[in-house]
Structure 1
Amino acid sequence: MEPIVLQEKEKLIKRIAESKSKAKVAKIEAAFNMAYEAHKPQFRASGEPYILHPLAVADILLDLNIDTASIITALLHDTVEDTHVTIEDIEKTFGKEVAKLVDGVTKLNKIENQPENVKQAENFRKLLLAISKDIRVLLVKLADRVHNMRTLSYMGSDDKRLRIAHETMEIYAPLAERIGIHKFKNELQDLAFAELHPDMRKSILSRLTFLRKEGCSLVDTIVNEITGILAQSGIKAEVHGREKTSCSIWRKMERKNVTFEQLSDIIAFRILIDNIEDCYHALGVMHSKYHVIPGTFKDYISTPKANGYQSLHTVVMGPERRCIEIQIRTYEMHEVAELGFAAHWSYKQNNPYGHEGTQFRWVRELLDILENASSPEEFMENTKLEMYYDQVFCFTPKGDLIALPKGATPIDFAFAVHSNVGLSCIGARVNGRIVPLKTELENGDQVDILRSKVPMPSPTWEKIVITGKARAEIRKFIRSKQREEYINLGRAILTKTFEQAGKEYKEKDLEPICEQFQCKTIEDILVSVGDGILNRLEVLRAIHPEEKPARKSLNPLSLLRFKPKKEEASQSLPIKGLIPGMAVHFAGCCHPLPGDRIVGIVNTGKGITIHTLDCEMLENFSSIPERWIDVGWEGTGDEAYVGRIKVVVANETGGLAAVTSCIAAQDVNITNIKVVGRSLDFFELLIDIEIKGTQQLVGLITAVRALNCVHSVDRAKS
């Protein structure tokens, strides 16, 4: 055994023996021996024996007073992925508990021929499922990432280093914060920051060094002053001053858009006290001694963060008129702040890995996002949204506390309460006042969600919400509604196609051909036809092979001549009846108006677009007649539609004013005017107007044409 390996192994065993952990040394030595034999021929990019990596991971975990199974998992975590050792081998030697933990931290090696982002998403999906069963999987994975980041400089590929640093910053550091292990979070962030922004980090560190030389006596002075003030009030406390990390300083500079010199609270002071009562007493003493900066007080003792963090935060104007941040907490709270939920093992040994409390609600929410995602990329996008958070705390009308990321909206609040509340949200009352749904919520807001009887989320909400849960639920609902539209459209297309061929359409006839078209169900076939993935004629010929392929050349207009049976007459206007539930849009190319002969074209994901029958754009759809739908105007009433006219007007004073005045006199509203051509004598204008139909348009054109300054005026259709 190499001397350095033996040295690191003995150091680990000694630490275990001296630690609070009840880890069993004999089992850990057996795990080391298995790992050593498995990794013996392997070396790290640094040139060191590979076994030093699992030894380092186990050593990092010891700071959390971890159990025997977790340390064994740390030693064996790469054996299944990189060596001949199997999960069965581990289970046989160390039992099911360790085998499941090792399997949880093992990457999916068999994801081949997939982009890097898909591999990342699939591996994270597997990790998340493992975390949901045992949170210790995440502890081992975080310790593994900490050591990998410490040795990242040995990796030769710049692209790979940057990819790992991005992944660390976006996923693993937030995960560490989620379970409250700030020690891991701070180191991961700082190491990733060094790789992603090396120049900025170097600049911040050099400024911190200068500040340290200039103000070291100031820190000591403030510590002594605070300690003395508290002692005079009969409060026994331990006071520490610490610099914020380079990454947190950079983020604050970015968020506030300020320079390093403009930051006021680079150094924070922590007051550790025996009990909660003295924490509030100490806060009162600090506020009576120093001027409080308005809006900076946060009480995380009465309202803990989701990861269990508790502390009182305040910013005051300290000695030499310097702004200083002060954190006040008990010793037990401090241990939780540093070690996260792992600190509870010191105080509560029953079921320390369970997920019953609100502390692990985020795991359940990420699993919901996983279930609702349509692709690995979407899952990762929504997961990253869910990871980052500076929290705001809001309340339901009944007084229930809802923790949300900073910048969250009433829609995010609604989905945090329950998916059904979010889907049926139509408005919100914040602190008794109706507000827009895009309003950013603030600490202490009481939010009352106004609901409809049926779910009706808007697709535009995706751009408003900031939580992954809300976005995932919205997308899931939209997809389900879109699928419903495609099913109805596919059914309408096949019904019309079969009747054109003189055949009776029976939906049960689709079942035997599902496998032929790689569809699992009849609905899948209808969706494929409605979405344009599957040609209607192929379905017809699959059921009736005698049908000739020549029908592909069918004139689209012939489909429009089809008239439904008399009992279906109520559905003869497809805009509202033939394909229920589909969105309808009026084409911007031809601006159809009541009175025009029109046709509907089904566009994937957009619903039905209405064109005039003479629109040039219809040429693009001549090869897909199944997407043409017979439509007509029905009960247009007083609705206004967008029309467009092209006016050539003389280049003279008052010409444009005369045209616009004439249009206004016809009770027509102008929505846009654009100059599209200009010569010495004339201007060519495109004018968008709100018009009720072709009859009003003809009257308008006649009136404008009568003006002396107008050379010509016509309806524009492009």
Structure 2
Amino acid sequence: MAYFADLKNVLESYLEPKQVADAERAYQVAECAHDGQMRSSGDPYITHPVAAANILAELHLDHQTIMAALMHDVIEDCDVTKQDLSEQFGETVADLVEGVSKLTQIDFQSKEQAQAENFRKMMMAMTQDIRVILIKLADRLHNMQTLGALRPDKRRRIARETLEIYAPIANRLGIHRIKEQLELLGFANMYPMRYRVLRESVKKVRGHRKEVVERITKQLRDRLKDSGLKCQVIGREKSLYSIYKKMRDKVGTFNEVMDIYAFRVITDSEDSSYRALGQIHNLFKPIPGRFKDYIAIPKTNGYQSLHTVLRSKSGMHVEVQIRTELMDQMAEHGVAAHWLYKAGTSHHPAETKAREWLQSLIEMQQNVGDSIEFIENVKIDLYPDEVYLFTPKGKIIELPKGATPVDFAYAIHTDVGNTCIACKIDKQFSPLSTPLVNGRTVEIITAPGSRPNPAWLSYAVTGKARTNIRNFVKNMRHDEAVHLGRRLLEQSLKKPLDDFSEDMLQQITDVTRYSSFDDLLAGIGLGKIASALVAHRLSSNPDKLDESSKKTDSQEDRSPLAIKGTEGLVIKYARCCRPIPGDPIMAYVSPGRGFNIHRENCPNIQRAHKQNDHYVPVEWSEELEGDFTTELRLQVFNQRGVLAQITNIIANQEGNIINIDINELDGDVNIITFQIGVKNRVHLASLIKKLRVIPFVNKVYRHPDIQPKGNKSD
């Protein structure tokens, strides 16, 4: 019980005697379970859970959290089950311990997958009870405090994980005290040399800075006192990690960063905070654009304060944060303040924002494909350098810096994002890829039946938007693959699938080891299994399908598959030859990726004739839709207005210019390559005919110049 004594003293200062006794019972179970186990430092293992519980006790967390912290490793490392804990301490404590425990009984393909799956499990447990992550943060903080006993490579790995995930989570939940400690320890172990150099540099300038800080503190205190405001003024020192980040992000050199002096003003009310701001702006000159009101509009983690940057009379920059005592307490403890300051905190922004974030995690979890994708999306949401935007009705939407209208649409509601087609920024139509900036009013225009565009993934930044777009694209690709697979199989069978019984379709599904017949069709559509093979077995006896009987129909027996141009995710048009309707074409099957359509004489597809399993005959459908991309090359004499005349002709001929590339052939001649969208070969031929008559066009041809069989020119 020697290790429990100090913790017991802290617990007795705020818990009931019965609750302290329950915590003592939990300690006894943990001590017994970890008996004989040692840490890498050589200390008995029980010192670790006691230290983690101490960190939480300082935040005055409830006795159930303290009990779970004391036993947080017993399921993972000892012969103790969740059922055992539930019987002794109740379901809540057992759930908390189980939520923090790693998945040690499952074999994972890689260490990264194991880490991601454990993180996903912990985050989902956190959505049920926020105390899970508070225990994990305390566990991680003590591990970081005792990291010196590990190998350097292991220290760096754990430090990186701390800086990338756990410190940002502490920040997201508003627990500034734990976040700063995690960042400092992470920095010291990730970059030990940089840490030591920076620490020594700060020590050298600290003496001079102390005098400056005392002088500015007195000026601020005297001005506020003269105006009748009861305020506390504190000179703050920037953390080593924040100094390092500013230097790393090229905000300034060490001397420039250290020339900024930071102060905190603690007031007795919100009204006094704004009055203090006015007095401080009268004392020192405020720098335009550097004032932020986080009281009216709290940060994503619920943080509230007034921030302003001023220039002192001697030219130094002075940062001032102004907030009430309750806001200051909440800034330090975030959601943990619910237990530390029980009165009046249940509806504080820190808790409200935390609940909103947890709800977004649940939505994200339902839509992501795997744990690694989940952790990447969570990481995106953990770095919220915020912008604040308005809906047309005046509601404030917070998004990370760099967010676009697509992110804004999904932030309003998933259905708004899925049906978004356009947007207005400050009443002006703008592209959906436009980066949003503070204070803009954004209006999202939707249309029933519209759906997410896969191209949005190139500029959507929030986890919610990216997860929903990926999920929709994945489902849409599967649906298109099923549709294409059905067409291919019916083509090989030369009759509809409706002619076969459910039992026969289930038999062929079982033999090919797919979970459902739709998945089998998707496998055919994505080129994972040959349609002719499935058709052959389905037409005879599916029970005999094995490696020895994998025969496919001859090429001549297979009728061409009709290509409509709308099978966007499972049928792609090769960039090497850029086929358009009217070109003789063939399809090369790329297993798992679908079909690549090439022009018949494309050099890259010629070898496919020798690989029957990889070749599918195709033809253009009469029901074609949309534009098809091709390339035109023009050899032109270098004259003024050349490009304008050519683009004008292309536009008049209803060609859609996608890209233009200009290269100089010699001093007088340029080669211009146009990537354009056309309807078919007839449309392209008409366009080429119009371009050839321009006097300064020396030559025009389609690129690559592959001649179809029997044709001499376009």
- Normalised TM-score (structure 2): 0.86
- 2:591 pairs with 1:596: no
| Structure 1 unmatched ranges of 5 or more | 563-572, 648-653
Letter in 2 for 1:556: Q
* 1:62 alignment counterpart: 57
Letter in 1 for 2:54: D
Once the two structures are superposed, what CA deviation does each residue of 1:359-398 show, in whole Å capped at 9, x if it has no partner? 3111111122122111221111111111111222212111
1:418 to 413, 418, 426: 413
* 2:331 alignment counterpart: 337
1:245 to 234, 239, 243: 239
2:564 to 575, 585, 595: 575
Q: How does 1:200-279 map to 2 (within 5 A)?
A: 200-263=194-257, 266-279=260-273
Please report how far the alpha carbon of residue 358 of structure 1 lies from its aligned counterpart in structure 2 after TM superposition: 4.1
Once the two structures are superposed, what CA deviation does each residue of 1:563-582 show, in whole Å capped at 9, x if it has no partner? xxxxxxxxxx4325xx8666
Please report how far the alpha carbon of residue 714 of structure 1 lies from its aligned counterpart in structure 2 after TM superposition: 11
Letter in 1 for 2:138: A
Q: How does 1:258-407 map to 2 (within 5 A)?
A: 258-263=252-257, 266-348=260-342, 357-407=352-402
- 2:450 pairs with 1:455: yes
- 2:621 pairs with 1:628: no
* SS class of match (2:388): strand
Q: Distance in 2 between matches of 1:330 and 1:555?
A: 81
* 2:514 alignment counterpart: 519
User: 1:672–1:507: structure 2 CA closer, same or farther, 3 Å change rule?
Assistant: farther
Q: How does 1:539-558 map to 2 (within 5 A)?
A: 539-545=534-540, 552=551, 554-556=553-555, 558=557
Once the two structures are superposed, what CA deviation does each residue of 1:505-547 show, in whole Å capped at 9, x if it has no partner? 6677312332333322221111111112223234234433369
User: 1:583–1:450: structure 2 CA closer, same or farther, 3 Å change rule?
Assistant: farther
Once the two structures are superposed, what CA deviation does each residue of 1:16-68 show, in whole Å capped at 9, x if it has no partner? 22347888222222222221122120111111111111111111111211111
Please report how far the alpha carbon of residue 111 of structure 1 lies from its aligned counterpart in structure 2 after TM superposition: 2.8
* SS class of match (1:321): coil
1:693 to 661, 672, 681: 681
User: 1:193–1:537: structure 2 CA closer, same or farther, 3 Å change rule?
Assistant: same
Once the two structures are superposed, what CA deviation does each residue of 1:92-140 show, in whole Å capped at 9, x if it has no partner? 2222221111111111111324311111111111111211111111111
- 2:570 pairs with 1:613: no
CA contact (8 A) 1:396 1:402 kept: yes
Once the two structures are superposed, what CA deviation does each residue of 1:130-187 show, in whole Å capped at 9, x if it has no partner? 111111111111000000011111112x332222112111111111111110111111
- 2:492 pairs with 1:497: yes
Please report how far the alpha carbon of residue 615 of structure 1 lies from its aligned counterpart in structure 2 after TM superposition: 2.6
Which deviates the most, 690-699 or 597-606?
Answer: 690-699
| Structure 2 unmatched ranges of 5 or more | 651-656, 708-714
Which deviates the most, 690-699 or 311-320?
Answer: 690-699
Q: Distance in 2 between matches of 1:614 and 1:57?
A: 69
Q: Distance in 1 between matches of 2:296 and 2:590?
A: 54
CA contact (8 A) 1:644 1:717 kept: no
Q: Distance in 1 between matches of 2:541 and 2:316?
A: 89
User: 1:366–1:257: structure 2 CA closer, same or farther, 3 Å change rule?
Assistant: same
Q: Percent same amino acid among aligned pairs? A: 35
Please report how far the alpha carbon of residue 644 of structure 1 lies from its aligned counterpart in structure 2 after TM superposition: 6.0
Q: Distance in 1 between matches of 2:458 and 2:215?
A: 49
- 2:89 pairs with 1:102: no
User: 1:595–1:142: structure 2 CA closer, same or farther, 3 Å change rule?
Assistant: closer
* SS class of match (1:403): strand
Q: How does 1:61-210 map to 2 (within 5 A)?
A: 61-156=56-151, 158-210=152-204
User: 1:542–1:237: structure 2 CA closer, same or farther, 3 Å change rule?
Assistant: same
Q: Distance in 2 between matches of 1:643 and 1:440?
A: 31
User: 1:373–1:103: structure 2 CA closer, same or farther, 3 Å change rule?
Assistant: same
Please report how far the alpha carbon of residue 666 of structure 1 lies from its aligned counterpart in structure 2 after TM superposition: 14
Please report how far the alpha carbon of residue 466 of structure 1 lies from its aligned counterpart in structure 2 after TM superposition: 1.2
Please report how far the alpha carbon of residue 555 of structure 1 lies from its aligned counterpart in structure 2 after TM superposition: 3.9
CA contact (8 A) 1:482 1:605 kept: no
Q: Distance in 1 between matches of 2:16 and 2:246?
A: 37
Figure out how many residues of one structure are paired with residues of the other and give that number. 684
Q: Distance in 2 between matches of 1:687 and 1:306?
A: 48
Please report how far the alpha carbon of residue 551 of structure 1 lies from its aligned counterpart in structure 2 after TM superposition: 7.9
Which deviates the most, 331-340 or 194-203?
Answer: 194-203
* SS class of match (1:320): coil
> Cα RMSD over matched residues?
3.9
- 2:558 pairs with 1:559: yes
Please report how far the alpha carbon of residue 231 of structure 1 lies from its aligned counterpart in structure 2 after TM superposition: 0.2
Q: Distance in 2 between matches of 1:35 and 1:715?
A: 73
CA contact (8 A) 1:414 1:422 kept: yes
* SS class of match (1:271): strand
User: 1:513–1:665: structure 2 CA closer, same or farther, 3 Å change rule?
Assistant: closer
User: 1:489–1:629: structure 2 CA closer, same or farther, 3 Å change rule?
Assistant: farther
CA contact (8 A) 2:183 2:241 kept: yes
Q: Distance in 1 between matches of 2:492 and 2:208?
A: 84
Q: Distance in 1 between matches of 2:367 and 2:555?
A: 39
CA contact (8 A) 2:426 2:441 kept: yes
Letter in 1 for 2:564: I
Which deviates the most, 591-600 or 334-343?
Answer: 591-600
Which deviates the most, 429-438 or 67-76?
Answer: 429-438
User: 1:615–1:58: structure 2 CA closer, same or farther, 3 Å change rule?
Assistant: same
Q: Distance in 1 between matches of 2:633 and 2:351?
A: 66
- Normalised TM-score (structure 1): 0.85
User: 1:453–1:199: structure 2 CA closer, same or farther, 3 Å change rule?
Assistant: same
Q: Distance in 1 between matches of 2:691 and 2:57?
A: 88
